[in-house]
Structure 1
Amino acid sequence: MITDDDYLYYVDRALNGMAGIVAGLGDQLANARPPFPGANSPYALLTHCLGVVSYWAGQLVAGREVTRDRDAEFAGTGLVGPLLDEVAVVRGRLADDVRAAVPGARLRGAPPAAFLGPDRELTQGAALLHVYEELAQHHGQMEILRDAILAGRPAGERP
């Protein structure tokens, strides 16, 4: 079995990667959407990932009340600085939640079907794996978004 530190190492790699992309793009480009149907902006995707972590680890594993508007996460826009501050806050809470989790224990609630999580009953450990799954897949997606956004800009307008 992996340790809490091993788990957090890989989660941090995904979060750091996404935060680095958003920071590197800056306020304007981080909020840009590439010209693909239904594409998200890097800012919105990172906002969604923070919602995933807060809900799945904070509410379902740790038992904190979390108010989440999943649809609004994908419409999120704003300045990069405050979003990166929120990444640090969420990362700190996640570390505490992981260290307090009982991997084989039941969740402290049932996720709504609309949240598109795994379609089976989960343990706290499985919910934490779902958090990592979401962060890893969205990190890769954000790398593609960044490349598409930058490919559409003249070289002189790229960060």
Structure 2
Amino acid sequence: MRDDLLRYCDEALVAMRDMVVELRDQLANRRPDLPGANSPFAILTHCLGVCGYWASSVNLGRVVPRDRDAEFTATGPVADLAARTDALRSDLADWFAAADVDRPPANPPGGLGDDRDRAIVATQGSVLLHVYEELAQHRGQLEITRDVLRAGASGPAA
């Protein structure tokens, strides 16, 4: 099961990396003209932060530095982000392998008030499932964002 879950996470990361690369620097760093929208670059940067935080910092107690607020304003060269994504994919495989899916996480976040939040950190396995949940949601967000940006870049359909 762990290998299947890792495969789904990896597929999501590869798909998001490829979408950002395909958009190239200009469109990947652009925000759609929608309230609260994030750029593709920021969405993928946030996903890298999510993976490090949950799969390593929370699950294993191996702190991966993260500036969550900065993730949403991140910009830069797509090639650098693609390289960081590939490096994280390797780290993610190591973190998944090190997780004891039946044990509680080593460093659960504080302030978990509702049943859903507590269920996310019930075991290291549930934390890994949460990582996939976040990647799946953001992959869909990135697909829509890409489509909106492409439509704006090419102008309205005739």
Give the TM-score of the pair, scaled to structure 1.
Answer: 0.89
- Counterpart of 1:81 (choices 67, 71, 79) is 79
1:21 partner SS: helix
1:112 CA drift (Å): 4.8
Which residue in 1 is equivalent to 2:101? 103
Q: CA deviation at 1:113?
A: 4.7
- Cα distance in 2 for partners of 1:15, 1:132 equals 10
Q: Which 10-residue stretch deviates more, 103-112 or 80-89?
A: 103-112
5 Å-filtered alignment, 1:38-57, equals 38-57=36-55
- Relative to structure 1, is the Cα distance of residues 24 and 113 closer, same or farther in structure 2, using a 3 angstrom cutoff? farther
Residue identity (%): 53
Secondary structure of 1:142's match?
helix
Q: Distance in 2 between matches of 1:47 and 1:8?
A: 19
**Deviation at residue 70 of structure 1 after TM alignment:** 0.8
2:60 corresponds to which residue? Answer: 62
List 4+ stretches of structure 1 deviating above 4 A.
Answer: none
Tell me, in whole angstroms, the C-alpha distance in 1 between the residues paired with 2:35 and 2:134.
21
Decide whether aligned partners of structure 1 residues 70 and 16 sit closer, same or farther in structure 2, where only a CA change above 3 A counts. same
Q: State the partner residue of 1:92.
A: 90
Change (3 A) 1:68 1:36: same
Q: Confirm whether residue 72 of structure 1 aligns to residue 70 of structure 2.
A: yes
- Which structure 2 segments of 5+ residues have no match? none
Instruction: Name the counterpart of 1:128.
Output: 128
The answer for unaligned runs of 5 or more in structure 1 is none
Matching residue of 1:5: 3
Distance change (3 Å), C-alpha of 1:35 and 1:132: same
Distance across 2 between alignment mates of 1:66 and 1:154 = 39
Aligned residue-pair number: 150
Q: State how far apart, in whole Å, the 2-side matches of 1:69 and 1:80 are.
A: 19
- Shift in Å, 1:20: 0.7
**Residues 72-96 of structure 1 deviation map (CA, whole Å, 9 limit, x = unaligned):** 1001000001111111111101101
**Match status 1:18 vs 2:8:** no
